[in-house]
Amino acid sequence: MTASSPADVLRDDLALALRLADAADAQSLPRFDAADLEISTKADNSHVTDADLATERAIRSLLEVERPADGIFGEEFGAQGGTHRQWIIDPIDGTANFLRGVPLWGTMIALAIDGVPQVGVVSMPALGRRWWGATGEGAWTVVDGEARRLRTSSVASLDDASVSFQSIAQWAEADRLDSLLKIAARVWRDRAYGDVYSYMLLAEGRIDMVAEFGVKEYDIAAAVPIVREAGGRMTDIDGEETISSRSTLATNGTLHPPFLSLIQD
């Protein structure tokens, strides 16, 4: 029997990730805007809902059957297993939006191999949208029932750039508010689209930069293969290609160096 190639394995992993997203949507969407949604507060004062918990449980249950040798790291139930092949899960990214009935939230599912995200799926069922990507396989979404390949923008000047900075509070807490004001004064347009949606807008070529502070691995891992395969670049604020340093800068690729300079000056 011929052994599967690494590319074949990744395609199988991506197919599984898409099925995991189906299972996630089946849990989260019926609870969106539900009158009886159960909300509690975690130790870090962030909110968690019954939908967050049920969605992560559904993903974990399927992984335990389909990939029992792989590790899992999720926002709600922590890490189990090894890190060579590790599934990184944010069951509902944008819980604050979810509990307020704002449809800008989504499930993020990634497979990282030795710490590098190689497969990513983002599903935003309240918008009826999904995005996915894997190393060497491109980045994709569905528009009008057909798969469409994603490409980041060709914007090459900061003067023409549209950016999402996520929140003023993040930048202030990181003592980077001066950098944010410098960026806002330099670019064409600045908005805080928020959470995972910003990265998908970047991958679609609709905006040109996203930056965040205080992020965990599960907040960004799924976006990495999608942005990268769409032609963009994701690093931390110091330009290192890591998902564990609690900051991230994502761009269309061309604008990465000038944005790094603006933030680091």
- Strand bridging mode 162-164 / 209-213: parallel
CA dihedral (194, 88, 149, 18) in degrees, to 10, reads -110
Rounded to whole angstroms, the Cα distance separating 192 from 12 reads 35
**Cβ atoms 147, 141 nearer than 8 A:** yes
Tokens 């604050």, located at residue: 96
- Per-residue model confidence (pLDDT) at position 127: 96
Tell whether the model's pLDDT for residue 1 goes beyond 60. Answer: no
- Per-residue model confidence (pLDDT) at position 75: 96
Question: Of 39-53, 216-230, 236-250, where does mean pLDDT reach its minimum?
Answer: 39-53
Average pLDDT, the chain: 96
- Per-residue model confidence (pLDDT) at position 194: 82
**Cβ atoms 95, 48 nearer than 8 A:** yes
Using alpha carbons, select from 14, 21, 113, 15 the residue that is nearest to residue 70: 113
User: What is the three-class DSSP state of 251?
Assistant: strand
State pLDDT tens for residues 7-21: 899 999 999 999 999
Question: Of 61-65, 109-113, 199-203, 259-263, where does mean pLDDT reach its minimum?
Answer: 259-263
Split at pLDDT 50, 70, 90, the class of 2 is low
Using alpha carbons, select from 107, 106, 110, 111 the residue that is nearest to residue 85: 111
User: What is the three-class DSSP state of 54?
Assistant: helix
State pLDDT tens for residues 3-55: 678 889 999 999 999 999 999 999 999 999 999 999 999 888 889 999 999 99
- Per-residue model confidence (pLDDT) at position 3: 64
State pLDDT tens for residues 93-109: 999 999 999 999 999 99
State pLDDT tens for residues 181-208: 999 999 999 999 989 999 999 999 999 9
Long-range residue pairs from 230-233, CB within 8 A, at least 24 positions apart, any chain? 230/133, 230/138, 230/139, 230/150, 230/151, 230/152, 230/202, 230/203, 230/204, 230/205, 231/151, 231/152, 232/152, 232/202, 232/203
Tokens 């900051």, located at residue: 247
pTM above 0.85, yes or no: yes
